[in-house]
Amino acid sequence: MLTHKGPTMHVLVIGAGGFVGRHLVGRLVANGVSVTAAGRDPVRLAQALCGVSTIRCDLARDSADDWLPRLRGMDAVVNCAGLIRDGGRYAMVHDQGARSLFDACYACGVSRVVQVSALGADAGATTRYHLSKRAADDYLANLDPSGSRMDWVVLRPSLIIGRGGQSSALFGALAALPLTLRLGRGRWRVQPIHVDDLIAGILRLLFREAPIAARIDVVGPEPMTTDALTASVRHWLGLAPVPVVRLPRWMLAAATRLGIGPVTRESLTMLEAGNIGDVDPLIAATGLVPARLGVALARTPATDADRLAARLMPLTPMLRWLLAVVWLAGGIVPLVLTPAATNRALLAQVGLTGTPAIAALVAGAVLDIAIGLALLARVSRAAMAGIVVMLGYTAILATTMPALWADPFGALVKNVAILGLALAVHALENDHG
């Protein structure tokens, strides 16, 4: 049974900067709960979350001894940490890191632990994502099988829909296209739950007085196809129906291998296998009846910002690639394709001849290529570096060769469009970095 160690419940939320973590922290604070938010960047957490204290943690590195001082005075712990892409870290974060956390919770006498896992992290798990989640779930369950000393509950949600979620971003992007893209045959079955209902369920479990030791699938009230899910999101966005174009499975698989878009190999496998469960155990444990997706979406009507985000989402990586191509071309073309005589004539107009001209040409080309490669590698502030360099180039050319402003091919005027593209990429980089 959950027992408070003070006048107010104190909850530690791991992965508080993530999609579920942010929503959970907000609702806990609104319910008068004292919250400590844990993540890899506590300064950024403090900026993003209101009314909570923050601490640094890193599930990939922290041992049980690291967790012990952080858990003093905590009534409950909710582990929302999870990786979208592996990068070789699923086992470290989902499994090994979670085990260290659970060991420390048990040693410190934390009353209740809520582990946010994933639907499919069961005996039939096949992906690295699900296997790593299941290993941690099993470990927590075996620490105290009856929950006699430490209550525990493993929540296994299906697709979670709501603002800021990867699933919403994916299906919002599909829904907002001029032609709706169908994933595979469009018949893959999912049972999405809105993030508000997931959070409501977690709160009820935290406030529940009766002891609990259980694994619970967290799903909506009814299964639906991926086609139906896309149609529901499009309706929520306030967009009229449009023809559907099939996106073959092989094309989806190629996109996951290239790392394009929010779909990963694991999520594609999950969709193909079906992502449905039984809602009754959730209702029995919490008394909460999740809303049908259409009703849940209608509780927070879509805004112009939602429609804009859905339409821009597929373009976001493309903008970066286009800007990278501009910079790479700016470096490769003068070095490889432009005749040497043409280069010498252009540099002479800005007062450079001989060795200084060659040095300037090579240095400028190398700088352009470096910026292009940095953009492709998603180096922080690469777009801003490009803006500074481009403004420098523009100032030099505008001063020494003002006639270029009237060039019929827009030699300098085009820089205005490139500036807009670079500012957009920088804004998107700053938003997600």
pLDDT, tens digit (0-9, with 9 covering 90-100), for 61-102: 999 999 999 999 999 999 999 887 666 688 888 999 999 999
Would the CA dihedral through 329, 334, 337, 343 be positive or negative?
Answer: positive
Please tell me whether residue 280 adopts helix, strand or coil conformation.
helix
CA distances from 258 to 138, 209, 271, 275, 355 (A): 33, 48, 19, 24, 43
Q: What is the pLDDT of residue 122?
A: 87
Give the pLDDT confidence score for residue 100 in this predicted structure. Answer: 96
Q: pLDDT tens for residues 155-196?
A: 999 989 999 888 888 889 889 989 888 888 888 889 999 999
pLDDT tops 50 at residue 23: yes
Average pLDDT, the chain: 88
Round to whole Å and give the CA distance between 359 and 405: 26
Return the higher-pLDDT residue of 258 and 349: 349
Residue 224 has pLDDT above 70, yes or no: yes
Residue 254 in tokens: 């190629």
Q: Could you report the per-residue pLDDT of 290-346, keeping only the tens digit for each? A: 999 999 999 999 999 999 989 888 888 789 999 999 999 999 999 888 898 888 888
Q: How confident is the model at residue 58 (pLDDT cuts 50, 70, 90)?
A: very high
CB 413 within 8 A of CB 394: no
Nearest to 430 by CA among 44, 19, 26, 38: 44
- Please give the residue that has the higher pLDDT: either 330 or 260: 330
Instruction: Specify the pairing of strand 189-190 against strand 224-225.
Output: antiparallel
DSSP-derived letter for residue 275 is B
Whether 20 has a pLDDT exceeding 90, the answer reads yes
Q: Domains in the chain, ordered, with CATH?
A: 10-302 (3.40.50.720), 317-432 (no CATH)
What is the spatial distance between Cα 322 and Cα 85, in angstroms, rounded to a whole number?
24
- Model pLDDT, residue 433: 43
The pLDDT of residue 244 is 86
pLDDT over 70, % of the chain: 94
Sequence-ordered strand ranges (E) for 109-264: 112-116, 151-157, 160-161, 180-183, 189-190, 193-194, 213-218, 224-225, 244-247
Question: pLDDT category, 431, cuts 50, 70, 90?
Answer: low
Q: Kindly give the pairing relationship between strand 34-39 and strand 112-116.
A: unpaired
Contact 325, 427 (CB under 8 A): no
CA distance 302 to 316: 21
Per residue in 383-394, pLDDT (tens digit) is 999 999 999 988
Q: Which of the four pLDDT bands, split at 50, 70 and 90, describes residue 8?
A: confident
